[in-house]
A and B are shown apart, each in its own frame.
Chain A
Amino acid sequence: MSVSTCPSDQATREARDENALDALDRAIVLATQSGLPLVPDPWAAIAGPLGIDGSEVRRRMQRMLDSGVIRRIAAVPNHYRLGYLANGMTVWDVDDAHIDRLGRVVAALPGVSHCYRRPRHLPEWSYNLFAMLHGHTRDDVEQQAEALCSLLGDACRDHRILYSSRILKKTGLRLAARSDRQA
């Protein structure tokens, strides 16, 4: 595993070293990043080509779940196909003194799919809290944003909803492409 030299990445780097993945873990990542096999014993299907057994795959995947390398093993719906046609990136200018607490409050609301603190770029961009909201209509999203606005109260100076008006590119993340160089 390469070691980052970026100082701001300290926490992530430590987490990475502690949970260092070996070549077999990376082979499991590569084999599953586009999806889990749809067969009665998916663990054995992953394990076969790697020369291990299904219980070893499960043990390693459990370890990756515990360490947060795997967020979860689940279905990811296409928002639009489920009828969630309004998807707004809401951005908030929140008092730095309160953002850690308020970020957690926002993330806990239903309908929020991502919630991050990001840097401001003054004077062009004053928003430091990002939350993606999903609703059936723009009215839904606006109501959620209103609720969020009341929750944030005086700690929030301004907010905007940035709707997407066009998908320009959408490809899967190929996260583990370099693992074959490291194996």
Chain B
Amino acid sequence: MTAERLSRPEPAELDVADRHIINRLQDGLPLVEAPYAAVAAELGLGEGELLYRLERLLEAGVLSRFGPMYHAERLGGGLTLAALSVPDADFERVTEAVNAFPEVAHNYRREHRLNMWFVLATETPERIGEVIEGIEAATGLPVFNMPKQEEFHVRLHLPV
């Protein structure tokens, strides 16, 4: 992964139709026969225009994904959030060691004594423990494992 892709993107220029599309599709696409035509009609757009704009919003990275969002645990996988307290002088080495695990899906530096926070996604729940042991061995640091004990249902909508 290049450094460029990891830098923070700038806010995008969006016109009114883009904003309507983003607001509408955060709420979900209906499971009907011609779903894009149905949403386009709601928004007063043509189906072709909606598809074209969606493709452009994805290419420009305004949308990071469009499609079904799957529940990892209900698909049989393991998922957890974990943190490390990394000495500043060692930060680059530890970042490299942690990121080398393919099970590390996201990794963020955060402002706290626990300054490295990453999400592990594994094919089975049992594999989480093995990967955590592997990360402890590779970094020499204790991993704070914080698996969710309960999920409170949210429906995020970021209006634009």
Hey, which chain B residues are within 8 Å of A176, CB to CB? 70, 75
Interface secondary structure of B, over-half rule? mixed
Judging by beta carbons under 8 Å apart, are B70 and A164 in contact? no
For B47, give its contact among A40, A114, A119, A162 (CB under 8 Å): A40
Q: Is A137 an interface residue (CB 8 A)?
A: no
Among A12, A35, A65, A117, which residue has its beta carbon within 8 angstroms of that of B66?
A35
Contact check, A42 vs B35: say whether CB atoms are below 8 A apart: yes
A150 at the B interface (CB under 8 A): no
The total of chain B residues at the interface (CB under 8 A) is 87
Q: Is the CB of B51 within 8 A of A71?
A: no
Contact in complex: A121, B158 (CB < 8 Å): no
1/0 per residue, CB under 8 A from A, across B90-105: the answer is 0000010011000011
A116 contacts which chain B residues (CB < 8 A)? 81, 148-152
Report A45 CB to chain B, min CB distance, Å: 12
A56-72 CB contact bits vs B (8 Å, 1 = yes)?
A: 00100110110111111
Contact of A115 among B58, B118, B151 (CB under 8 A): B151
B99 CB contacts on chain A under 8 angstroms: 168-169
Chain A 98-113: CB-based contact to B (< 8 A → 1; otherwise 0): 0110011011101111
* 11 further contact pairs, Cβ within 8 A, besides A33-B70, A107-B154: A33-B68, A54-B33, A70-B71, A71-B68, A73-B69, A77-B160, A79-B158, A103-B152, A112-B154, A114-B156, A171-B105
